[in-house]
Amino acid sequence: MTAYIIRRLLLLPLIMIGVTLIIFSMIWALGPDRLLASYVKSPEALKTPDAAERLIKKYGLDEPMPVQYLKWLGNILQGDFGYSMVGKKGVLPSMLERFPYTLELTIYAIVPVILVAIWLGVISAVNQNKFTDQFIRVFALVGWSLPDFVFGLLLLLVFYSILGWFPPGMVSTEFDLVMRSDEWRTITSMPTFDALLNGRLDIFIDALRHIILPVLTLAYLWWAYLLRITRSSMLEVLRKDYIRTARAKGVPERTVIKKHAKRNAMIPVITVAGGSVMGLLGGTVFVETIFSRVGMGRFLADAASLLDYWSIIGGALFFSFIMVVGNLIVDVSYALVDPRIRLE
């Protein structure tokens, strides 16, 4: 196990270099004229006829691609991702400022996605073709078929516009002023967690009211998908010979399901669950935009609308790194669930 983890960790830099090469090639294909727009902060800099050509030479945008890539990669390794027009500062500080809000949303969403989806998937498989199974399957089918931005707008219409229960945004205005004051201690940059750490239960409840609808929107799609995967995997395992043998020996059904069937059915579920975490992070683009939340998703959406190339590249690298590390964790988790797997 240790040797496998070390080998995978040694491969991480090579994989990330490949990712950076692909991403930079796509941006480089835009040409120097379009890339120049990300360097010019004011139209005044392009007043003279030769200004554009002079700036292209200044920033090396007319150099061969390998030269530009190596310079850019060197800046990345030093933490310089370029200037963000969205954040009005460096790309890396802009992303680090917003990532805790996206992480908070993902943390709250991943619990129902994994725990409840697996639980419902097992129940559905055990009660195959019964009313419980049919009801859960319809629930999963609706969730998988409904786009997250449509579902989010429906939730916003019902629970905010009509009922007024769960407002969009991060926190209410009066609490936002408190969180911006000098007395407020920012520890995690996540409103709900910081509210608890500051001993402000009222702000915690208010922040929770604002995060419920985004969490439901983000979780429902992956909830439904993981539920279907769990059900299919459980049904396949329940048809195995060793399950029939255990039942024939008189092993209690509860033990058969929990000890023999469920654990062996978790291999494909772990793969999808690991991908769902990355999917949740990527799905925040629509959710954060719909519910007016600050985060990486909203950051990338604003960057795309402003053609902020360096912010887009930074966000792509950021999520690529999370995806690579997430896949490593998923692979290692296989051996923990199924001892038959020997990663060495």
DSSP 42: S
For range 100-123, the mean pLDDT? 86
Domain regions of the chain by residue span: 88-339
Give the pLDDT of residue 62.
Answer: 80
Q: Tell me the DSSP string of 127-153.
A: TTTSHHHHHHHHHHHHHHHS-HHHHHH
Tens digits of residue pLDDT in 286-327: 888 889 888 888 898 898 888 888 898 888 888 888 888 877
pLDDT reading at 83 higher than 80: yes
Lowest mean pLDDT among 36-50, 73-87, 165-179, 243-257: 36-50
Average pLDDT score over the chain: 83
Query: 98, 295 in Cβ contact below 8 A?
Result: yes
The angle at the Cα of 296, spanning 295 to 299, to the nearest 5 degrees, equals: 90
> Is 334 or 293 the better-scoring residue by pLDDT?
293
Dist CA 33 CA 67 (whole Å): 18
pLDDT digits (tens, 9 = 90+) for 95-104: 999 999 998 9
pLDDT tens string 148-170: 888 889 999 999 999 989 999 88
Q: What pTM did the predictor assign?
A: 0.81
How many whole angstroms separate alpha carbon 102 and alpha carbon 94? 13
Band of residue 262 on the pLDDT scale cut at 50, 70, 90: confident
pLDDT for the residue numbered 47 = 65
Rg over CA atoms, the chain = 24
What integer pLDDT is reported at residue 119 of this predicted model?
A: 86
Q: Is 294 exposed, middle or buried (0-12, 13-18, 19+ CB in 10 A)?
A: middle
Whole-number pLDDT of residue 58 = 78
Average pLDDT over residues 122-138: 89
Query: In CATH, which of 1.10.510.10, 2.60.40.10, 1.10.3720.10, 2.70.180.20 is domain 88-339?
Result: 1.10.3720.10
117-152 as b/e: b if 16+ CB within 10 A: bbebbbbbbbeeeeeebeebbebbeebeebebeebb
Amino acid at 56: I
Question: Is residue 335 predicted with pLDDT exceeding 70?
Answer: no
Buried/exposed 49-71: b ≥16 CB within 10 Å, e otherwise = eeebeebbeebebeeeeeebbee
Residues 30-45: tens digit of each pLDDT: 788 777 777 776 666 6
Q: Residue 343: is its pLDDT beyond 50? A: no
For 83, the 3-state DSSP assignment is strand
